[in-house]
């Protein structure tokens, strides 16, 4: 294959609880991840033997060894011994530092595409292992869908999703480092909240009622961002005033989102927030 094109979906966290710090330095979490139709586009082309070249239309994205796509290429080479070269053109549409998993999704796309492009034929378990070494969120992006996520993010239970909702994603104009967010998070003892109880029942029967889920969303990072960035409350208030059924934060931030039943209502909310100068994406689940 001389050339391949892939689309790397963003994800939203439909709630996020941090359960505690682990001995390995990571944190145990409880969340629902869902892919949405906001996507980066990646173009893969052969390059000189052993070469890795990343080109990106966003000057703020690093293209060297700190880039997760670069690391995914190197991980495949180290795991298989292949010396194939690759050039990756990365067209960014998912904001960086936004809690939407853009870098992780790009890395997963690279693993999937190069496994086929280079004829490696790695098992699903092998790819998942490589993905987990790259980052906690990367294994989720090896496929699309909705999953209850536990552990440090590597334990995935995919669940059916039939609900028809629209998401208005609002980037508030600042990035959030997940390292900073976890360092500054005040973790209290997690009681049996409605959200925790709901996800516990989902893990038992494999089904989730979206209407119930959206009445009890919790994200442990939201109070931290409200305390450090006053515009967060203003954005949430605007989403609520526009008729959102629920509002929350994706990941450790910075993207805020509103959940809407009607596409017209969601589009109107998106237009209103754009007039305030925010970067806004109107999305639907990609399952």
Q: Which residue among the candidates 40, 106, 115, 137 is catalytic per the annotation?
A: 137
Q: At what angle do helices 263-275 and 231-241 cross, to 10 degrees?
A: 140
Q: Residue range 145-153: average pLDDT?
A: 94
- CA 168 to CA 247: how far, in whole Å? 9
Helix (H, G, I), strand (E, B) or coil at 119: coil
Average pLDDT, whole number, for the chain?
94
Instruction: Label residue 154 by pLDDT band (50, 70, 90).
Output: confident
Q: How many percent of the chain have pLDDT more than 70?
A: 98
| Average pLDDT over every residue of 92-97 | 95
User: Is the CA virtual torsion 25, 31, 34, 40 positive or negative?
Assistant: negative
**Does 137 qualify as catalytic in the annotation?**
yes
With a cut of 80, say whether residue 156 has pLDDT above it: yes
Q: Is 40 a catalytic residue?
A: no
User: Is pLDDT of 65 > 80?
Assistant: yes
> Which residues contact residue 267 at a Cβ distance below 8 angstroms, ignoring those fewer than 6 apart?
282
- Span 198-211, mean pLDDT? 86
What is the DSSP annotation of 192-224? --HHHHHHHHHHHHS---HHHHTTS--BTTHHH
List 11, 17, 92, 128, catalytic entry: 11
pLDDT tens for each residue of 213-244 = 999 999 999 999 999 999 999 999 999 999 99
Does the structure show a pLDDT above 80 at 1?
A: no
Dihedral sign of CA atoms 227, 259, 217, 169 in order: negative
Q: Say which DSSP state 161 is in.
A: -
Residue pair 220/16 in contact (Cβ under 8 Å)? The answer is yes
Q: Taking a C-beta distance cutoff of 8 angstroms, is the pair 284, 144 a contact?
A: no
Separation between Cα atoms, residue 47 and residue 36, nearest integer Å: 31
């Amino acid at each position: 294959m001389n050339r391949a094109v892939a689309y790397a979906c963003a994800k939203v966290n439909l709630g996020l609880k941090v359960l505690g710090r682990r001995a390995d330095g990571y944190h145990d979490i409880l969340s629902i991840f869902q892919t949405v139709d906001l996507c980066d586009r990646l173009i893969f082309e052969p390059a000189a033997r052993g070469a890795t070249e990343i080109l990106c239309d966003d000057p703020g994205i690093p293209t060297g060894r700190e880039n997760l796509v670069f690391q995914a290429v190197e991980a495949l080479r180290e795991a298989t011994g292949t010396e194939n070269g690759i050039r990756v053109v990365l067209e960014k549409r998912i904001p960086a530092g936004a809690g939407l998993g853009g870098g992780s999704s790009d890395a997963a796309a690279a693993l999937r595409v190069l496994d086929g492009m280079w004829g490696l034929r790695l098992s699903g378990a092998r790819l998942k292992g490589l993905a987990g070494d790259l980052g906690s969120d990367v294994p989720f992006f090896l496929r699309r869908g909705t999953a209850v996520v536990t552990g440090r993010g590597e334990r995935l239970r995919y669940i059916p999703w039939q609900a028809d909702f629209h998401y208005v994603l609002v980037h508030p104009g600042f990035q959030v480092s997940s390292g900073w967010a976890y360092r500054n998070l005040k973790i209290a003892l997690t009681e049996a909240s409605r959200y925790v109880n709901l996800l516990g029942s989902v893990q038992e029967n494999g089904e989730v009622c979206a209407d119930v889920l959206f009445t009890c969303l919790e994200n442990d990072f939201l109070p931290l961002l409200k305390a450090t960035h006053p515009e967060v409350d203003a954005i949430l208030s605007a989403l609520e005033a526009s008729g959102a059924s629920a509002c929350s934060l994706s990941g450790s931030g910075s993207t805020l989102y509103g959940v809407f039943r009607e596409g017209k209502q969601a589009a109107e909310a998106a237009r209103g927030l754009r007039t305030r100068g925010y970067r806004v994406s109107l999305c639907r689940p990609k399952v």
